[in-house]
Amino acid sequence: MVRKRLISHHRFHVTCIIPTIGPPSTALKQVLNDDQTNPNDSKLDVVYLHPVNFHDLAAVKAETQVFLAITRSLSPLREVLKSLKANYSENLVGLVVDGFGTDAFDIAEELNLSSYIFFTSSAMILSFCLELPQLDERVTGEYRAMGEPVRLPSCVPVHGGDLLDPVQDRSNLAYKLMVYHTNRFRLADGIILNSFIELEEGAIQALLKEERHASKPPVYPVGPLIRTGLSGPVLEDQSECLKWLDGQPSGSVLFVSFGSGGTLSFRQMNELALGLEMSGQRFLWVVRSPNDKVSNGSFFSLRNDNDPFAFLPNGFLETTKARGLVVTSWAPQAQVLAHISTGGFLTHCGWNSTLESVVHGVPLIAWPLYAEQKMNAVLLTESAQIALRPKVNDENGLVGRGEIAQIVKSLMEGEEGKRLRERVKEVKNAAQKVVGEHGSSTKALADLALKLKKRTCLYK
C-alpha cells in the first residue's frame, strides 16, 4: 500500500522484488496483478526471485524460513538491483525491505542506495524490536520466566509470555536471527511504520523522540494502510456472506475469523461453537478444519484439509441457522467489516485485520494465535482499549464455552461493549483524518518522498 501511495501521490516508479520459498501464492499474484492492471499503477513492476530451499537444515520452522529467505536470495537480489541501477542510473534512490531483510542493506550500500525498513506491525512491537538487542544482553533465562514484565518506552507493560513467538525459546535459531536483524535496524536510513499516533500515541511519540539519538533511525508513521474492496470477481460464497448480512439488523453480527491461516484444535473449535450458541448472538464464522498438534494453531503447522463442517458439534448448524452463518476457509473480510450489520470482530489480532477493523470502526475480541499477535492483543485491550480478551483455562489451555458466551454478549450488548464501540469510533475518525490531505500520515509519507527525491539532486 505504501508503494501505491508513492506511485499515485509522489510519482515514483516502484519495483517489487519478491524472494520466494516456493511458488508465489494465488493471493499474492492476484494482489500484484490487480495493482499492475490499475491505470494509476502503471509505474509498478514485479520481479520474483528464484525459490530458495532449506534442504541443508533439518526441521526448519516456517518463521526461520522467513528470516532466511532474503539472506539466501542476496545474490539474485544483487543482480536485479545492479540491472535496475544500470537502467535508471542516479534515479534509483532507495531500497525498502521488511524487518527480516536487513542483510540487503549491504547491497544497497554497495550501490549507493538509501535503505529503509517497512515495518508491517505495531509501534509497540517496533519499540520491542529496537530494545531486543539490549534485552538480550541484560536478561538471563527465558523472557516468559521473568518476574517483572518488559517495559518499553511509553507502552503498557508486557509479560514475557505475551512477547513474540520467535523470542519464546532463546536457544532457537529464529531467536538468534531476530536478535541479529533487530540489531541492524539502526543501520536503516528510516523505518516506515504502518500505524498512526491516535491508535498508539505513547509508543509513536516515544519513537519520534528517540530519532534524536544517533542509534535510532527516523520513523515515518504512515498508517493505517489497508487493502479495500474485493480483488477480482465476486464468487458465490463471497456473495452469500454479504447477502446474508444484508438481512441482519444494524450492528448485530459478530464476525469470527482467524485470518488467512489461523486454525484451532478440535476441542477449542467445539468450545467456540458451543460458546457462540450459548451467547444467543448473531454471528458470521469463517471456519477451518482443526489442527490438533497445538491448542492454537496456524498455517505454520500441519493442516487438515477435511470438510470443516464435519468437526462442528452435532446439531450446531441446525440450531443456529436462524441467527448464524458458517462459511468455509474465506470471506470478503474488508466488505464484512464495512457492512452496517457487523457490530464486532473476533480476531486472531493480525495487524492487517486489526487495522481493517479500526478503519471500519468495529470493536474487537482479541484471540491471538501465533507470531506477534499476543503483543497486539495487549495493545488493543490495555492501551488502545478497543478490544476484550477472553481468559484461557490454565489447566488445559482452552477458552471455555462459558467464557466465550459471556465475552461475546458483553461486546455485542453489554455496557463494556458500548464503551469500546465509542472508543473505536473515535479511533476510526482519527484514522480518516491522518490519511487525509493534511493528515499526519500523509505528511510523514511526503517527508519520506522528499528525502528520497533529494538523493537524485545530489547526483546532478
DSSP string, 420-444: HHHHHHHHHHHHHHHTSTT-HHHHH
Tell which residue, 187, 209, 183, 212, has the closest CA to residue 197. 209
CA 66, CA 371: separation in Å to the nearest integer? Answer: 12
Specify whether 386 is located in the same domain as 451. Answer: no
Tell me the β-bridge partners of 264.
296
State whether 198 and 262 are in the same domain: no
Q: Are residues 275 and 345 in the same domain?
A: yes
Query: Which among 270, 267, 298 is positioned nearest to 370, based on CA atoms?
Result: 298
CATH of the domain at 447: 3.40.50.2000
pLDDT tens digits, 137-150: 999 999 999 999 99
Q: Is residue 92 in a domain?
A: yes
The C-alpha cell that represents 216 in the structure block: 535510532
Report the chain's terminal Cα–Cα distance, integer Å.
Answer: 30
Report the alpha-carbon distance of residue 37 to residue 217 in Å, rounded: 35
- d(CA 230, CA 228) in angstroms, rounded, equals 7
Q: DSSP label at 190?
A: E
Q: Are 343 and 450 within one domain?
A: no
Q: Examine the domain organization and report whether 218 and 256 are in the same domain.
A: no
- The pLDDT assigned to 62 comes to 75
**Which stretches within 72-192 are classed as H helix?**
74-88, 105-110, 123-138, 173-184
> 56 in a domain, yes or no?
yes
150 and 258 part of one domain: no
Opening angle at CA 364, ends 360 and 369, nearest 5? 120
The rounded distance, in Å, linking the Cα atoms of 217 and 205 is: 14
Same domain as 183, residue 245: no
pLDDT, tens digit, for every residue of 201-221?
999 999 998 665 557 899 999
Residues 406 and 446 in one domain: no
- The dihedral through the CA atoms of 97, 99, 104, 106 has a sign that is positive
What is the grid cell recorded at 279? 451467547
Is 368 contained in some domain?
Answer: yes
pLDDT, one tens digit for every residue, the chain (460 residues): 788 889 988 989 999 999 998 887 776 776 777 665 565 556 899 999 999 888 887 777 777 888 888 899 999 999 999 999 999 888 999 999 999 999 999 999 999 999 999 999 999 999 999 999 999 999 999 999 999 999 999 999 999 999 999 999 999 999 999 999 999 999 999 999 999 999 999 999 999 986 655 578 999 999 999 986 544 444 555 689 999 999 999 999 999 999 987 899 999 999 999 999 999 999 999 999 998 744 455 544 444 457 899 999 999 999 999 999 999 978 999 999 999 999 999 999 999 999 999 999 999 999 999 999 999 999 999 999 999 999 999 888 899 999 999 999 999 999 999 999 999 999 999 999 999 999 999 999 999 999 999 887 655 5
Torsion sign over Cα 448, 454, 459, 460: positive
Domain membership flag for residue 230: no
Which of 142, 159, 141 lies closest to 150, judged by CA? 159
In a domain, 10, yes or no: yes
Distance CA 35, CA 27 (A): 12
Q: Identify any residues that bridge with 158 across adjacent strands, giving them in sequence order.
A: 150
Closest to 343 in 3D by CA, of 239, 285, 400, 418: 418
pTM of the model: 0.92
In terms of C-beta density within 10 A (0-12 exposed, 13-18 middle, 19 or more buried), how is residue 173 classed? Answer: middle
pLDDT at 122: 98
Check whether residue 125 and residue 144 sit in a common domain. Answer: yes
The domain of 60 spans 2-223+437-458
Let me know whether 271 and 178 are in one domain.
no
- What total of structural domains would you count in the chain? 2
Kindly state whether residues 270 and 400 are assigned to the same domain: yes
Q: Is residue 64 part of a domain?
A: yes
Nearest CA to 94 out of 220, 210, 209 is that of: 220
In a domain, 269, yes or no: yes
State residue 55's pLDDT score: 82
Q: Say what the pLDDT of residue 302 is.
A: 42
Q: Are 206 and 65 contained in the same domain?
A: yes
pLDDT, residue 229, reads 56
Burial class (CB in 10 A: 0-12, 13-18, 19+), 113: buried
Q: Is residue 229 part of a domain?
A: no
- Alpha-carbon distance of 262 to 241, in angstroms, equals 20
H helix runs in 152-235, sequence order: 173-184, 201-210
